Amino acid sequence: MAITRLGSPGIALGVEPLVSPITLAHTVGAGTDRMLVVGCGQEAGNPATVVSGVDYGGQAMTKAIENPFDGASIAVTVSIWFLLDAGIEAATDNIITPSFTGARNDETVHAQAYENVDQTGGSTTNPATNSDANESGANPITTIDLTEVDGGLLVAAGIMGNTTGTATSWNAAMNLLTDGNETSSRNSMADRLSSTDANVDIECTWSATYNRQTMVSARFAEAAAGEDTAIIVPTGPWR
């Protein structure tokens, strides 16, 4: 069966000054072969503070990809994490909690659950392409070419280090899930429920002055009888 969304997306925005870690309460409803996907965005001083882990109700999530970028004076990073059905079932509550390696600032957590997702985990070495994260480059920030699989799922997340009059838009191939301003950055997450076997361009565009941009994406496979494989397609550059 093809992957479908399970419930509505959620988003939590950190409030400066950040006294305690950011959390997001997000209940995953009943379903078959479920998966929770979490996107984490962060802006802080150089070097980039990365996400060292994310848990859901005490269950450790798996990192699909993270892409930090050190700007001229401020750094940004964005990452995608996931948890399969067994972990969701074992969770003791519905709280998503990320952990960071260093200074915390402008944290954002996005979440969306799905069902009919392959439960074997694992990843491939079939990388997508990604334009460089940059200080003040072209808009849209990047175009990622992915070959989607009918019945599967594409998820993408992006961050940009400015908020003045900005809004995030994704190209027609993608469905906006969540979008929000922090004190000095803008974070967004989008998805695509695949219905073809074809190449897909994923583009994230900011409506006003843009800087310190980075974006990541992941591809997941549907559950099927017999041999199932969840596919994670990372986007670079790796660090």
Residues 229-239 have pLDDT tens digits of 444 544 444 33
CA distances, 219 to each of 82, 117, 234 (Å): 11, 11, 8
Please give the Cα distance from 36 to 222 (Å, whole number): 14
Structure tokens at 82: 């996931």
pLDDT digits (tens, 9 = 90+) for 82-130: 999 999 999 999 999 998 887 777 888 999 999 999 988 654 433 344 4
39-94 pLDDT, tens digit each? 998 887 777 778 889 999 999 999 888 888 887 778 888 899 999 999 999 999 99
**What are the backbone dihedrals phi and psi of residue 35, each rounded to the nearest 5 degrees, phi first?**
-150, 135
Q: What is the pLDDT of residues 5-37, one digit of tens each?
A: 999 999 998 766 565 678 999 999 999 999 999
pTM (global) more than 0.75:
yes
DSSP E strand boundaries for the chain = 4-13, 24-25, 35-45, 51-56, 59-60, 62-70, 74-84, 95-100, 108-115, 143-147, 153-160, 168-170, 175-181, 186-193, 199-206, 213-220
Other C-beta atoms within 10 Å of 170: how many? 22
> Any idea what the Cα angle at residue 200 is, between residues 166 and 12, rounded to 5°?
40
- 115 vs 25, 43, 170, 197, 237, CA distance in Å? 19, 31, 23, 20, 30
| pLDDT for the residue 159 | 85
d(CA 180, CA 173): 20
Question: In this structure, are residues 206 and 186 in contact, taking their beta carbons and an 8 Å threshold?
Answer: yes
Whole-Å CA distances, 180 to 157, 189, 229: 12, 10, 33
65/110 Cα distance (integer angstroms): 15
Dihedral sign from CA coordinates of 93, 49, 125, 200: positive
Instruction: Please state the domain extents for the chain.
Output: 4-220
Show Cβ contacts of residue 89 under 8 Å, excluding neighbours closer than 6 positions.
none
